[in-house]
Amino acid sequence: MSFMNRKNIIGEGIIDRVLKKLFLKRSLKKDKKIKKEVDKLNTSINDFEKQLNSRLKELDPKSKPVKIDKFKI
């Protein structure tokens, strides 16, 4: 049972999220161009993370490394 008002459910985009999860994700998982671009993006994020962590170590050796989440479809 939901405690949300019907207008709030539509306003917060719950229906859009469900539709995206059910329908769009299946077609995107199979698309080779999208997979390739996501791989490029993750490689760039990984490079940025390495540079950021090395710079943090230079500034403060006691700092904890930064972990950036990778994208996946």
pLDDT in tens, 15-69: 677 767 666 777 777 888 988 998 999 999 999 999 999 999 999 999 999 998 8
- pLDDT at res. 26: 72
Residue of 70 and 72 predicted with greater confidence? 70
Listed in sequence order, the residues at least 6 apart from 45 whose beta carbon sits closer than 8 Å to its beta carbon are: 68, 70, 71
Domain boundaries, the chain: 1-28, 31-73
- pLDDT at res. 70: 87
Q: Using 50, 70 and 90 to split pLDDT, how confident is the model at 12?
A: low
The residue length of the chain stands at 73
How many other CB atoms sit within 10 Å of the CB of residue 53?
16
- pLDDT at res. 49: 94
